[in-house]
Structures are given as structure tokens and as C-alpha cells.
Amino acid sequence: MSLPPLVEPAAELTVDEVRRYSRHLIIPDVGMAGQKRLKNAKVLCVGAGGLGSPALMYLAAAGVGTLGIIDFDVVDESNLQRQIIHGQSDVGRLKAESAAASVREINPLVEVVIHNTALTTENVMEIFSGYDLIVDGTDNFATRYMVNDAAVLLGKPYVWGSIYRFDGQASVFWAEHGPCYRCLYPEPPPPGMVPSCAEGGVLGVLCASIGSIQVNEAIKLLTGIGDPLVGRLMIYDALEMKYRDVKVRKDPECVLCGKNPSVTELLEDYEAFCGAISDEAAEAASGSTITAQELKAMQDNKENIFLVDVREPNEYEIVSIPGATLIPKGEFLNGSALERLPQDKRIVLHCKSGARSAEALAIVKNAGFSDAVHVGGGVLSWVKTVDPSLPSY
């Protein structure tokens, strides 16, 4: 389905711009008019991480006139395996600042707008209103639903992408011409059901594959060429090297973009809507969460504890807390882990950050281990506050 160009063309291209974009200009479908539209376009990239890195670099190279970057995080060494817009010298630097510097190096003709802040319900509408198109490079469900809801309420299209291990997905959501994200995923998955990239990993180059597709869709929307991914979900399997797309129809009963929407404004709390952890896990963790320093004190005092690491074996190989026994979360879910827990010791659970161990804690407490606890912050907290010599990931 071809769509009209999203933006009007700029008045002219300078001699320098004609020279820079000459390979675009000689493509009949783009030409002078298309390049002028790109020059006049304002695109916001949500996130300067795995997907945001290649997206920002190619949007800049393509000549998008104004590029917005929103990210509040800082560059970590573990980012460099896939977030190619940052370099070793950027470690510890604000991602938005680092990304902006790279964009300016790629194309000094692009105006860069930095939003060094977290995207929230208080600022999302104001920030989005200043742009023609949103490119969503987020990696959590709460922000994805907020991006979608804000875009629909403002009548703006956005290009979505998702990556995990060797698999990627991409689509264009534009309620005026097709479905929105809620039509595809009416409800977020149960807490803990879908691991994040931080928990499950991602092949670094996959970011480039999906991020470049997002830019390709953005260019098509801005210039009005081709058949954008509106109403289609593109699925990429990097191991099998296969692309396929699935039709996504607009849901007439969608709570946001359907015939009788019940969601007419932003939700108050998207984290609560998506449930970072289940209610059972939150209840179990209440009053049963210890710090990494408290765990170290338990070990130093030789308290009678049984420390359990509920991460996956490959994570355990990267870094582990001394004295921990590996029993992956999956074994708690199927019940087999309970046979391995001693009755005469206090059970202490941990994972990478605390979410998975809280879910396992709920199961352990329901099995009768009433004094069991978990480590808030998990391995990340241990490395940060107890033993910084250990690697993080």
C-alpha cells in the first residue's frame, strides 16, 4: 500500500547537499524532491542503543534534516558489542551525547536535538509533538506501549523494531492507515515470560539488520515511495537467513485505535500495566529482599544459608557469586528445583538483577520455605558494591 509523503519538500538543496546526496538524487524514485523531503523531515529516535545506533547513523547519512535523540543512559563496555555508534572512549559518557557526536561526524548538515532524559508519561506527548516520525529502538514493553499510545493519540506514525538472540522483527504502526502495536499485542506478556536482551543476549550484527530496515521504512514514509510495512510484520531469522512477513490487520475492537476506544489518554503507570514482576513475586519479595552487602555479611559470619543462582548456565560461566549453586529458574517453574533445596538451611536466591529471583522466591515460599530471601540487584549489585574486580555483563 503506497502512502502520500509524510513531509513537504524543503525549498532547495545547497551545492554541498547536492554533492553529498548525489547517489540518492540519481535514483528516480528519490530524486531531488525526495531528498528535499528528507532535508525537511524531523525524526526522533527513541533510544541510542542496539537499534538506535545503526538507525541514527543511517538517518544522518541519508540527510534527515533534524534528528532527535532521547536516551538517559550512559555507555557501558558491554554495550560496545552491538551499539556501534559508541566507541571505547565513550564508556561512561551519556549515550545521547555520544550518539550526537557520532551523528555530527557522519553528517554536519544534520541538526541534532538531544533529549537527555527518560521518556515518561509527563514528557512523551510534548517531545513527540515536535517530530514527524518516531523510530522506536526501545527494549522493554512498558516503553513500547507508551510510545505506541502517544503516537496514536498524536496521529503520528512510528517504525518499530525488536531483537532477541538471532531473531528480529520490524513493522510500521500508523493508526490512520493500519494497525497499532496494541492490535498486534493487545496485552503485554506475563512478567518473566519473555527475557530481555540483557538476560537472553543478542547477536550484535542483528541490530544492524533490523535497524537498517527501520531506516528504510522511515525513508519510504518520509518521501512517499514504495510499500511500507504498514499492516505487515517482518520477521527475520538470522540463523536460517530467512525473512518472512505476516499480515497484521487493524483490530476493530482495539482499546486504543478501534471503533469504540476505551483508552483515550496515556495510562498513569505503564510499568504497572506491563508488570515488571508478577503480583505473587512482588508479594514474596516484600520484606524478603536483602542487599548484596547483607549477603556478604551472611557469608562472612558463616550463617547457615544455601545460596542459589537462578540464571542460565551461560550467564553463570561469565560471572558468579562465590558459593552459589546454579539452579536455573526453569527448574523452579517445573518444580524439579525444590527437591534440591535443603530443609535445614535458609534459602537465598539471586539472579542478574533481581526479577527472576523474585519469581523463584514466590515458588519457594509457596513450597514452605518461609524464611527464604532473594538478593535485590543480584549479580549486578554484587559486582558494583562487593567485588568490582568481577566482570559485569
pLDDT digits (tens, 9 = 90+) for 251-310: 999 999 999 999 999 999 898 788 777 788 889 999 999 999 999 999 999 999 999 999
Mean pLDDT value across the chain: 95
pLDDT tens digits for range 121-146? 999 999 999 999 999 999 889 999 99
Which residues touch 241 (CB under 8 Å, ≥6 apart)? none
Which residues are catalytically annotated?
Answer: 197, 351
Half-sphere exposure (Cβ direction) of 116: Cα atoms closer than 13 Å: 10
Handedness of CA 270, 272, 273, 275 (dihedral sign): positive
Q: What is the pLDDT of residue 311?
A: 93
Residue 135, strand partner residues: 45, 159
Q: What are phi and psi of 375, to 5 degrees?
A: -95, 115
Three-point CA angle 229, 156, 13, nearest 5°: 85
- Whether residue 171 is predicted with pLDDT greater than 80 in this model: the reply is yes
- Eight-state DSSP code of residue 200: H
Q: Give the three-state DSSP class for 389.
A: coil
* Across 188-195, average pLDDT: 71
- DSSP per residue over 146-189, as a string? HHHHHHHHHT--EEEEEEEBTEEEEEEE-TTTS--HHHH-SSPP
What element of type H or E holds 376? none
Cell 523452579 maps to which residue? 332
- What is the spatial order of strands in the sheet that 289-290 belongs to? 289-290, 373-375, 346-350, 305-309, 325-326
Mode of pairing for the β-strands spanning 305-309 and 289-290:
unpaired
**Helix, strand, coil percentages in the chain from 3-state DSSP, rounded to 5:** 40, 15, 45
Cell 515536535 maps to which residue? 130
